[in-house]
Structure 1
Amino acid sequence: MRHEIIEIPVISEAIRRLGAPTSALTRVDGLLYTCGMPPLDLTTGEIVKGDIVMQTRACMEALSFTLRHAGSSFDNVFKSLVFISDNDFASGMNAVYREYFPGGFPARSCVTIKPWTHFDIEIECIATVG
């Protein structure tokens, strides 16, 4: 199986500053696999502070940017995985998440876990190219 690591400068640099040994995106046989995307400000590369709505929007914008960089979009996402730090955040996260999939939702898993100290949500997805 051949895979290609795709570096996306602002996102890759920000993720490395967090200490994560990962690439933002990998392409394997026509599929795109994103890393777990934290709530990054695409202008500064810093973690977005704020409530779950602000953090979810930042995650989704970073994912959108990442997918576009590889020639894809949310229209091509067929699976996502959301990690949130508190079940009480689900409704705020869902409100924002719905905005990015107006044509129908991909299969999704949502897990409550608290491994981070700087943010409350991380989202990853799998998409087809183009």
Structure 2
Amino acid sequence: MKEITSDDVPAALGPYSQGIISGDTVHVSGKSGEDPETGELPDTVAEETKATLRNVETVLEAAGTTADSIVSATVYLTDMDDYDEVNRGYRSYLSEPYPARTCVEVSRLPAPISVEITVTAELDDGR
């Protein structure tokens, strides 16, 4: 296993890695849509979803791959009523064929955010 880190995403809030390469895949821990420089969140859940995916992709790029290589994602929402907005942000950031996905509502997340996303992606052959 190899740990992946990037200073261009918010720091981890606990004892875990931003990402781990295992074999031919990279596993990215739950990311938020916080701006890594200001700590601010976008105004809408759709924009927060896109910002979250940008932070996920930053870790993927540090591992040598991109969002196009995501094979599965888990989306955690604090309010399932935001599901359509999450889909708008998700659809505008990722392209078909979309990764396999699970979406669940949780009572709380470890920061004051509405969305957290974790992914597994394939590594590019040329790494």
TM-score, scaled relative to structure 2: 0.88
Q: In the alignment, what sits opposite 1:15?
A: 11
Q: Does 1:85 align with 2:78?
A: yes
Q: In the alignment, what sits opposite 1:126?
A: 120
Moved more, 95-104 or 28-37: 95-104
Cα distance in 2 for residues equivalent to 1:36 and 1:103: 22
Q: Is 1:10–1:45's contact at 8 Å kept on the other side of the alignment?
A: no
Cα distance in 1 for residues equivalent to 2:32 and 2:113: 7
Sequence identity percentage: 21
The alignment's C-alpha RMSD in Å is: 1.5
Deviations 1:77-119 (A, max 9, x none): 1110000001110000001101222231111000100223511
Aligned pairs, number? 123
Q: Provide structure 1 residue ranges, at least 5 long, that are not aligned to the other structure.
A: none
Q: Provide structure 2 residue ranges, at least 5 long, that are not aligned to the other structure.
A: none
**Letter matched to residue 65 of structure 1:** T
Deviations 1:4-27 (A, max 9, x none): 11111232xx333xx322111100
Q: Is 2:5–2:62's contact at 8 Å kept on the other side of the alignment?
A: no
Deviations 1:47-106 (A, max 9, x none): 415221121111011111111121111211111000000111000000110122223111
> Which protein is richer in helix relative to its size?
1
Cα distance in 1 for residues equivalent to 2:38 and 2:73: 23
TM-score, scaled relative to structure 1: 0.86
